[in-house]
Amino acid sequence: MSQIFHHSANTLVRMTMVGVAVIVGGVGWVAYEFQQSAYQTRATQPREQPIPFSHVHHVGGLGLDCRYCHTTVETSSFANIPPTKTCMNCHSEIWATSPTLEPVRASFRTGASIQWTRVHDLPDFVYFNHGIHVAKGVGCETCHGRVDRMPLTWQENTLQMNWCIDCHRNPEKAVRPREFITSMGYQPTGNQEEIGRRLVQEYKIQDARTLTSCSTCHR
Amino acid sequence: MRTNLKLGALALAVAAVGAGCRQDMHDQPKFIPLRPSGFFGDSRSERPLITGTVARGHLKDDTAFYTGKGPDGKFVNEFPFPVTKEVVERGQQRFNIYCAPCHDATGAGYGMIVRRGYRHPPSYHIEQLRNVQNGYLYDVIANGFGAMPDYAAQVEPADRWAIVAYIRALQLSQNASINDVPAEARGQLSGQQAAGGGK
């Protein structure tokens, strides 16, 4: 009985085996890169807003503290978007006739909300709490980046779980002294790991096992 | 080869589903802060309190603490709680966040917002403001005065008192005399202007 397959079929089989591995791996790699790409997470993409509010001007230029507007960030799970009244504290007199700021004045006159576009949107099954992070020495900049350099606000990081977990496993790499919580461009005065380890103890930050427990963030 | 194609297509489909979709769990039909609501006309899910609402345990019957005024309607001068170093430090921190933009870090009134065109507030160091009651300063923070808007929404009552304490410290710092310095510490001041700066 003669051979069913020609001799060259051996090569074909080998190529197929390698090819499948390459294609499946390649597709997996592309999918992985895609799901954490800026295109997918919208990280680093400035968002259009009804009023072109600039953190560069207010934080970088004027030196306002984050908490002047985001008053609840230390005590609440949610860092509030300031009410129109906070804008009007200054803009009743400064740029008081600017057409750009007309929506702010209209909101103040009528009591209707300014409909800002949400920039940071965590999945609803994540129970993120700003207050605890601020209290334990995680600076605004650590997650939000150099907000003082954002003409229009963008989301700095992916906000994906592996990004959260990175820090929950090694908080000493990120924590800073509480007095520098809202500082932009903070530089540790020595070795970050050493300072971090000391702060982790001082602020009683829980161990990685607790911090990475599912129910710490999901419930 | 047909199996390969099928496998490839399947992997692509899985990847696309895994990467591209936002499932319902991400956006549950519940209200998170500032999520709009279709139910209310003004589309706010956070409802403003009806005027006069008092949460249980939050009746503000300590008028001196919440208004800076005594039962006779006059400003009190007593602090409602002991002023410790922690209170003054808290006051300093809050002052630098909420007050310094206009009043500047020394209280002279040349903060960044004033330099950009806001009306210049009086310096804390004028005679008149050094002699007001503590309750008056509290009241200005809570209700505003002249060009100054109220800070009721941004600064909690206890923090307002802490800021008052820090303003007092600022005023002292600009009007101190050599007699305010403990005798044993005066040696450290020699040669510095601080010794002659007070009234």
Residue B198: pLDDT over 50: no
Q: In the listed set A115, A134, A161, which residue is the last one of a domain according to the structure? A: A115
Of A85, A93, A124, the CB nearest to B118: A93
Does B177 or B98 have the greater pLDDT score? B98
Bridge partners, residue B69, by sequence: B75
Q: Which residues are registered as beta bridge partners of A43?
A: A155
Residue A210 sits in which domain range?
A: 47-81+118-217
Close Cβ partners of B52 (under 8 Å, ≥ 6 residues apart) = none
The per-residue pLDDT for B120 is: 95
Residues of B in contact with A118 (CB under 8 A): 34
CA distance to partner chain B, nearest, from residue A206 (Å): 26
Are A151 and A54 members of one domain?
Answer: yes
Q: Which residues of A touch B30 (CB under 8 A)?
A: 124
Task: Name the domain count of chain A.
Answer: 3
Q: Do residues A2 and A68 share a domain?
A: no
Chain-chain contact of A35 with B28 (C-beta, under 8 angstroms): no
User: Tell me, what's the pLDDT at B14?
Assistant: 65
Mean of the per-residue pLDDT values for chain A?
A: 93
Pair (A16, A101) in one structural domain: no
Q: Give me the pLDDT at residue A14, please.
A: 94
Whether B149 and A92 lie within 8 Å, measured CB to CB:
yes
Instruction: Specify the pLDDT at position B190.
Output: 64
What is the band of A5 on the pLDDT scale with cuts at 50, 70, 90?
A: confident
Q: Is residue A58 in a domain?
A: yes
Q: Is the pLDDT of residue B22 over 60?
A: no
Is there a single domain that holds both residue A64 and residue A164? yes
Query: Last residue of some domain: A98, A115, A132?
Result: A115
Taking CB atoms and an 8 Å limit, are B113 and A20 in contact across chains?
no
Q: What's the CA dihedral at A13, A14, A19, A21 to 10 degrees?
A: 110
Contact A218, A178 (CB under 8 A): no
Contacts of B66 (CB under 8 A, 6+ apart): B60, B157
In angstroms, the CA B92 to CA B162 distance is: 8
Please tell me which residue of chain B has the smallest CA distance to A127.
B32
Q: What's the confidence (pLDDT) of residue A2?
A: 77
Q: Nearest by CB to A124, which of B11, B25, B147?
A: B25
Note whether A58 and A161 are same-domain residues. yes
Interface test with A, best of B113, B141, B148 (most A CBs within 10 A): B113
Measured in angstroms, the CA of B169 and the nearest CA of chain A are apart by: 20
How large is the average pLDDT for residues A154-161? 93
pLDDT band for position B24 (cuts 50, 70, 90): confident
Give tens-digit pLDDT for B113-154.
999 999 999 999 999 999 999 999 999 999 999 999 999 999
pLDDT of residue A161: 93
A36-65 pLDDT tens trace: 888 888 888 899 999 999 999 999 999 999
B107 conformational bin, left if phi > 0, alpha if psi -120 to 50, beta if neither: left
> Which among A35, A81, A124 is the nearest to B32, CB-wise?
A124
Q: Which residues of A touch B (CB under 8 A)?
A: 16, 19-20, 23-24, 27-28, 30-31, 34-35, 40, 62-65, 67-68, 71, 78, 80-81, 83, 85-86, 88-90, 92-94, 112-113, 115, 118, 123-125
Residues A133 and A208 in one domain: yes
Residue type, B22: R
Lowest-confidence segment of A213-217, B75-79, B189-193 by average pLDDT: B189-193
Tell me whether residue A152 is exposed, middle or buried, using C-beta atoms within 10 angstroms of its C-beta: 0 to 12, 13 to 18, 19 or more. Answer: middle
Say whether pLDDT at B194 is over 50.
Answer: no
What local confidence, expressed as pLDDT, does residue B83 receive? 95
CB contact under 8 A, A88 and B149: yes
Q: Clarify whether residues A165 and A102 are in a common domain.
A: no
Same domain, A94 and A150: no
Q: Domain boundary residue among A68, A95, A115?
A: A115
Residue, of B17 and A174, whose pLDDT is higher: A174
pLDDT at A71 (0 to 100): 96
Indicate the DSSP class of residue A118: P
**Do A69 and A160 have their domain in common?**
yes
Q: CA–CA separation, A121 vs B46, rounded Å?
A: 18
Average pLDDT over residues B78-105: 95
Task: Note the pLDDT tens digit of each residue in A104-135.
Answer: 999 999 999 999 999 999 999 999 999 999 99
Residue of A nearest to B30 (CA): A124
- Residue A183 tokens, joined: 């500082």
Nearest to A123 among B25, B96, B119 (CB): B25
Q: B195 pLDDT exceeds 50?
A: no
Predicted confidence (pLDDT) per residue in B145-178, tens digit: 999 999 999 999 999 999 999 999 999 998 888 8
Contact A94 B98 (CB under 8 A): no
Considering the domain architecture, whether residues A19 and A54 belong to the same structural domain is answered as: no
The whole-number pLDDT of residue B13 equals: 67
CA distances from A155 to A63, A142, A158 (A): 21, 12, 8
pLDDT digits (tens, 9 = 90+) for A63-84: 999 999 999 999 999 999 999 9
Is A148 part of a structural domain of the chain?
yes
pLDDT > 70 in chain B, percent: 85
For chain B, what are the domain ranges? 63-175
Tell how far CA B158 is from the center of its chain.
Answer: 11
pLDDT > 90: what percent of chain A?
Answer: 86
Q: Residue A90 and residue B113: Cβ atoms within 8 Å?
A: yes
Average the pLDDT over B102-113 and give the result.
95
CB contact under 8 A, A16 and B11: no
The residue in chain A having the minimum alpha-carbon distance to the alpha carbon of residue B154 is A71
The pLDDT value recorded for residue B18 is 58
Per-residue confidence (pLDDT) for residue B48, from 0 to 100:
86
Structure tokens at A202: 């001082």
CATH code: domain B63-175 is: 1.10.760.10
* Predicted pLDDT of residue B191: 57
